[in-house]
Every structure is written in structure tokens, then in C-alpha cells.
Amino acid sequence: MTRICVPIMASTAGQMAREIDDAQAAGAQMIELRLDYLQDRNEEGIRALMEYAACFPGQIIVTCRLASEGGQYNGSEDARMELMTAAIGPATDFIDVEYEAWRHSPLVSEQIGLQCAGGCESRNPQLRLILSKHDFQHTPADLDAIFDKLLHSHADVVKLACKAESITDSLRMLEALRNARRSPLNKGGLRGVIALSMGETGILTRVLARKFGALLTFAALDTGKESAPGQPTIKDLRELYRWDALNPATRVYGVVGCPVAHSMSPAIHNAAFAAVGHDGVYLPMRVEPSFEAFEAFLDGCLARPWLDLRGLSVTIPHKENLLRYAEARGGEIDPLARRIGVANTLHIEPGQREDGSDAKLYAFNTDYRGALDALCQGMGCQPTDLAGMPVAVLGAGGVSRAIVAGLTDCGCRVTIYNRTAEKAVALAAEFGAKALPWEQRVRPGTQVIINCTSIGMWPHTADTPLGETGTSPAATTGGAGILPASGQLTVFDTVYNPIESRLLREAREQGHQTIDGVAMFVGQAAAQFERWTGQTAPTDLMRDIVVRRLTATR
């Protein structure tokens, strides 16, 4: 079973003792005592610390990491060996030393070798040796060859951690983990393997370590206490990514974008998986903006069918790239997604071939469904009831395209207003809508106003696309744009942070019906969820999670 290991990196033995207690309370199954972080590195203090650590019910790793491999230690090897041997006692399960130090320093191999299981003077017959290698600059091309060298050693556990320069490096690291566990050099899989990618795109290796049988994954006690870049907190690992539910059969999903670290999609989809009992995990997947990067990522996933990637949410800037990729691979594209010109969802049905070449791809767009569902639920009507309804759409970007396509498909009379008039005219011509100058919004007779711009989004919450005042010049328009004082108007804002924008607040205060952007966000996510799982999405739960996270952020 893959364990969660929390690194303890405090500068004093007393603080380390407190963090050991915190790690236990948080659910850690292992701790790594980083002696290189101690400011007062004396043998007596370390022995006292180890006596205290003996109360920890899980396993204990001891290391004093060299600065050359990302640690804090710059002293002599003699002093380092004295510190590490002082920390070895009945409570110590593993001692971690650098592979290069083991190879090139007789002092290290002799001193540590005598302490580990099988050594004639071993103080702890159960002590096991971890030989580790770190690269904080890049991910080498020959990961399998590096693991072969590590596996040729006397190590009980081999560890490789490298900086991921792109998400494809993380895919290669997962493959190297899988290969090392199955290698003939691994004595029938008896030796433990740790394989991690550092950086934002390394989250795949840290969460999926359990799926692929790594000895452990590292998780920080709290934000700011990471021992390496990209390390999740133990709280996020256990709660957000549902660590305890992961297993070799778990299906993988994710949100692809750039940036993507602050996406709320992992929170709502993972919670929804748990609610319906779907064996899946949903991860953030940063892919650089070019089509080439997107293509390399998806090619890498499909060539590794054992990854069990089954679905992706695709956001800025890759919605057009998804459509292009699916078309090139002969995937099935939803007609409305093709008409809109962008897709935001990928569904993958695995094939039978080991190279993944017969996997079936389905690309579609759920933005329009999310918007239409939110609109109809807010108005208490069916899509067929929208026929002939006059609707004003503010903006002519990607969100507008999906919404205009959906509205015109329902027979609405759509008028588009955009700050760049040419874009409004082009979008209107494409979907059989009408375009008018931005200054003329919103005209009498309009029944629905949909804001598809970013005006009013946090942190510019004083702005509104229909007001006379605001911090943004784009939001300062004049009297023609003011909401009518009364009437049966529905105002829908696709902005969801804040939940109630200034536009919605003023519309509500004037007696108009309002629909917030959370409804659309949840609606499009629910459509993705149902396509992937075949189950009804728990939309109330999904909305509650978004609202709670937005409230906490604010």
C-alpha cells in the first residue's frame, strides 16, 4: 500500500516534535525527519528527538539532505554521518542517502551500510536503505536507465525525483515508476520504488503514486511547508483528491488549461465522484498554450492506455486545440461543438491495443448546455419556450460563441453588443443573430440580458457592463446602458466570482430576475460528469462546493 509521508523540516528539535504530532493528527502514515534543516545539529538533541519520534505509530525516514541535491546541508561528510547514525535506533525504519554519495564516498557506504539490515553491526535489523537521486533542473531522457542503475545497488528502496519541464515529463515519470516496479532487477517487486515529478505539472505523479504502487508520496503538513515544488498538502491529498479511495483500477480525469492551478473543477468533480460512488480521480493538468504542447500531452496519454485517462475538461487556451486534435485523430465531434468552433470536453473510450491507437475520442461542448440549463431553470421554463424571445448578449468572445449558438438553436432573437464592433458583426453573421453598437445596449423590448464579458469579475467588483460608474473605462457607458427601473427582465451574468456581481445586485434591487454564473459553471460541469460516468450529477452538492470555496477565498 502506498503511504503518505509528511516531511518534517523545522529548524529546532522542539518544533519538529510538535510537527510530528500534527502529522499524526492529519493522518500521515510516514514521516521524513529532515535533519539538514536543524540549526543546532548535535547528537544528543537528535537522540532525544528520535526517542520522542518513537511515539509516532507509522514509519520513520531519516535523512540529512545535501545542498547539491536540494537539501540544506553543506558540512563535512564525517559530521553528516555522525548525525545520521545518531538518529538510527529502534524507531527508525528507513535511512535515505543520495545515490551519488553512496557511490563515490566510501565513508557513506561503509557507515550507512553497517547500520542497515544485513550489516554485521546493525543497531536495527529492520532498518532499510533508500538510495535517492534528485534533479531540480530537468527530467532526463533516460529515466529507465537511471532506475536500472539504482536497482543494481544494494538499496531496499530506490527514489528518483526530477523537475518536470512539462506535463509530458510527468507521464514519463509514471511510466518509469511502472517499469521499475516490474523490472527483473527489482527482485520480484520486493524493493520499494519512489518516482516523483517536481513542479506544478508533477501533481499527476504525486496523486497517482497510489494507483501505480509507489512506496510513498510526499505531502506537506501545510501550505508553505513543502519539501519540494509542487507538493500538495496532506489535507488536499486526502480530501480534495480522495487518496484513501484510489486503487489500481481508478479512472483518471482532469482539467487542461494554462493556467489551471486555481481551477475549482477538481473540487466539484472529485466530490461528485465520491457522492455517486464512481471510481475516478480528477486532477489539474497544466499544458502550455501551443497546439504542439496539447498534441504531445494527449498523444502521450493515449499511448499509455494503462493510465486509464477517460475524460478531460478543456479550458483556455485549448478549446480550439481540442477540436483540431479530435478532428485529426478521427474523433467524433458534436455537431454544435463543430458549429461553435470550440470544444471544452473530451470523452475517451479505451480500445484493445497496447499502444492506445484504437481509443475512441468524443469531443463536445457543454458551455452552451450549462448556460441554457441555468437560464431555463432560473426562468422556470423549457428550451422550447425560448423561441422568439429577444435576448441581448454582451460580448463576442469564446463564452459568447457557445451561448449565442445555443440561443439561436432554440430560436431566440439574439442581439450581440461588443466593445469591438467588428467581432459582434462577425459573430452575428455566423449564427444568424443581430449586432448593434456597444453604446446602444440594452434596447426596449429585451427580455433577457446575458453578460459574457469579464466586466465585474473579481477583483474589479465595482465594475458593471450596464452602469455609468466603475473602475474600468469599459464599464463607463452613459445612460443608454442603465437597467430599466422596473419590468420583467431576466439578467444572467456568466461571471461567477463574485457570486453576486454588481450587475446582479443592482438588477435584484430593481426587481429584476437574476441568474448567477455559478449556475452555468455547475451546469456545464454536470453535463461533463454525466457523459463520463453515465450517472446523474449531484448538482446541489457541486454548487454548494463552488459557493463555499468562493466564500472562503473572498
Catalytic residue annotation: 134, 159, 319, 367
Half-sphere exposure of 346 (CA within 13 A, CB side): 33
Burial of 140 from C-beta contacts in 10 A (0-12 / 13-18 / 19+)? middle
> Coil, strand, or helix at residue 358?
coil
Here the cell at position 396 is 463576442
Question: How would you label 212-224 residue by residue, b for 16+ Cβ within 10 Å and e otherwise?
Answer: bbbbbbbbbbeee
Q: Which residues does 453 contact at the CB level (< 8 Å), separation at least 6?
A: 394, 395, 397, 419, 465, 474
- In degrees and rounded to multiples of 5, residue 478 shows phi and psi of 110, 175
Short-list 502, 397, 505, CA closest to 452: 397
State which amino acid sits at residue 423: K
CA distances from residue 140 to 151, 169, 297, 431 in whole angstroms, order as listed: 17, 9, 17, 49
Whole-number Å distance between alpha carbons of 145 and 133: 13
Q: How far is CA 396 from each of CA 360, 416, 476, rounded to the nearest angstrom?
A: 33, 7, 18
Q: Measuring CA to CA, how many Å separate 453 from each of 314, 419, 445?
A: 19, 10, 22
Conformation bin of residue 368: beta by default, left when phi > 0, alpha when psi is -120 to 50: alpha
- Other CB atoms within 10 A of residue 249 CB: 8
DSSP, collapsed to helix, strand or coil, labels residue 337 as helix
Distance of alpha carbon 510 from alpha carbon 489, whole angstroms: 10
Rounded to 5°, the CA angle 25-31-32 comes to 150
